[in-house]
Every structure is written in structure tokens, then in C-alpha cells.
Amino acid sequence: MFRLLDTLTLKAENLVGYVFGATCPACGRLGTSICNSCFGELVAGAKKQNKKQIEYHGTVLVAFEYNSAIRKMILNFKYRNQRSSLRFIGDALVKRIRLEQERTLKSIDLVTWAPTTNRRIVERGYDHAELIAKYVAKQLSVPCRKVLFRVSNRPQTGKSRDARLIGPTFSARKLDSEHLLLIDDVVTTGATLNSASHALYQAGAGLVTCVAVASTVLWQSSTESYALEKARK
């Protein structure tokens, strides 16, 4: 997945990091863009995930296995505004999407995201899923637009597993049978993507393909947690 150019780019960025005091977005090690240890763990997780084609009555694409390195990277990006990981995460998603395009994925009309709560946006000053979606859309040369609006404003973070199975409520702008790419960060029960997909189909989407940065073992073992056909009803 990652070619020689990726490794050379990483080494060059690490050299710059030593000069300007950069830190690894996963472990926080000084002087690196992504340290060799985290880089190796992330690549191994991506290779495992690329071999899987997860089907829950619809296509769900995941870039990384949910390991320690990607967990720390997402948390630092999400809560500490450490945006140095955006390109790494975004490029991995793009590669995962393009791999699926070579298989069966249909032409994409629009990229959107599952928005976080207004409270989180005010606290952080940004929506990390929006930043990822815009980066991915730019690389794919596909329009990116906010389509979903979160009706319920209670975050999923900190909820029990049973509480997470009841996803947040979304509304959506009117659509005209487009194929949408729906971006989220981490999928655990699939409830957020399920609710978001339901709103998109209700608004007239022709097909919703969900894409996540990482998925947990819990989600991968739960075939009832994510069902696009149910979302259509």
C-alpha cells in the first residue's frame, strides 16, 4: 500500500520535524512527523483492512484496523487539533476508496460526512470529520458538501455499548438519486452511520457508501449493527 515514495517523504518530514520541533501525531515523540514505530503499526493495520471487503447489506470501507497507533492519532486530531495527521489519514482513505473502485465501487457523485454535535464544534472550533471529508473529496476530484444535520446533540463518546446502539438522529438536504460517500472516523456499533444513511436515503440518495478511518473488533463482529437495506425503509 505504501510505496518507497511514502517512506522517503516520511524521512524528509522527520528531518524537518527535528529542526522545527514537530511531534509524532500518534505517540507525541519529538522530531518526527510520524515515528517509525507508529508508521509500521499503522501500515500493518492498513494492510490487514485492505484485504477485507466488509458487507453489511451495502459497502462499508475501512482504512485501518483499530490499533493503538491509529487510536492515538485520531484522538490527538479530534481533541487536540493536531492536524499533521490529516494528510496521512486522508491519503489512506483515498487509497482504500480507489482500491474498491478497481473492484466494484460505482462512480461517486458527492462526498459528505456524519457531523459531530454543535457543542463539540464550539468546543474544538472545527469538525474533524468535515476536514477529513474535504481532504478526501479534493484528492478524488469530487464535490464535497454538508448534507446532514444532527438533530440530537448528545455525543456518542462516553456512552455504554447499549446506549451506542441507539444512534444520533440526523436530517438531510433533499437529494436526487446521487451516489454519496459518507465519511466518519471510528465505527464501533455502526449506529451513527446507520442513522446518517437512513436520513440520506429518506432525502433521496440513490446509494450511500460509508467510509471510516478505523473500525473496532466490536463493530466487525456485529452484523446487526449496520444494515443499509434497513436504512432505506
Can you read off the three cell numbers belonging to residue 7?
Answer: 517512506
User: CA 209, CA 182: separation in Å to the nearest integer?
Assistant: 6
CB neighbour class for 21 (10 Å; exposed up to 12, middle 13-18, buried from 19): exposed
From the list 212, 215, 192, the residue with the least C-alpha distance to 61 is 212
Burial of 5 (0-12, 13-18, 19+ CB in 10 A): exposed
- Look at residue 39 in the predicted model and tell me its pLDDT: 76
CA 169 from centre of chain? 19
Helix axis angle, 86-103 relative to 128-140, nearest 10°? Answer: 50
Query: What per-residue confidence (pLDDT) applies to 213?
Result: 92
pLDDT for position 57: 37
Entry pTM: 0.74
CA distances to 1, 92, 106, 137 from 99, in Å: 10, 11, 12, 16
Q: At 128, phi and psi to the nearest 5?
A: -60, -35
Q: Give me the domains of the chain, ranges plus CATH numbers.
A: 52-232 (3.40.50.2020)
Give pLDDT tens digits along the chain (233 positions): 444 444 444 444 444 443 444 777 777 776 656 787 777 777 776 665 555 544 433 457 888 888 888 888 898 888 888 888 898 899 999 999 998 888 888 899 999 999 998 888 999 899 999 999 999 999 999 999 999 999 876 655 555 555 556 678 999 999 998 999 999 998 888 888 989 999 999 999 999 999 999 888 544 433 333 334 434 44
DSSP for residue 84: G
Residues 145 and 198: their CA atoms lie apart, in Å, by: 18
Whether 49 contacts 65, CB under 8 Å: yes
